[in-house]
Amino acid sequence: MEQRVSLISLGVRDIAGSRAFYERLGWQANEASSNDSIVFFELGGVLLGLYGRAALAEDAQVPDSEPGFSGVALAHNVRSRAAVEATLEEARRAGARILKPAQEVFWGGYSGYFADPDGHLWEVAYNPYAPLDDEGRMQLGAGAAET
């Protein structure tokens, strides 16, 4: 198996409502590939798909159980501590629930968490040990510090 993630599918209760949430964050859906049953956002080489929760469970042949902690969090890394706070506030205004306010973390960075309307966890983090390049990709081991 090649080492990559191509698509992250989030099972959602209300596709249109979830699409609107991510669009309030400033994201743009791929109109050519999206419809009433699925919405795609291009994330720099990875796709995020919003798909009906029951339909996703049926496709995977698993029960559609109650939402709760699934042991998965998506991460959105930013370029500074201030950007962590600004991004969490932007998410709150878009309809997210802030789960953990921005704060210093044990590994030496700065982060906080929010939940989207379906409870999917998102970490917003500044990592001084893996700065972002000009295209927003993490550079593991680069070790650049915030300026």
pTM: 0.89
CATH number of 70-147: 3.10.180.10
143: its two tokens: 């070790």
Which pLDDT tens digit goes with each residue over 61-98? 999 987 778 889 999 999 999 999 999 999 999 999 99
Q: 7-60 with 70-147: one CATH topology?
A: yes
pLDDT digits 0-9 by tens, 28-74 = 999 999 999 999 999 988 999 999 999 999 999 999 987 778 889 99
CATH of 7-60, one of 3.40.50.10860, 3.90.470.20, 3.10.180.10, 3.40.190.10: 3.10.180.10
Please state the domain extents for the chain.
7-60, 70-147
HEC per residue, the chain: CCCCCCEEEEEECCHHHHHHHHHHCCCCECCCCCCCCEEEEECCCCEEEEEEHHHHHHHHCCCCCCCCCCCCCEEEEECCHHHHHHHHHHHHHHCCEEEEEEEECCCCCEEEEEECCCCCEEEEEECCCCCECCCCCECCCCCCCCC
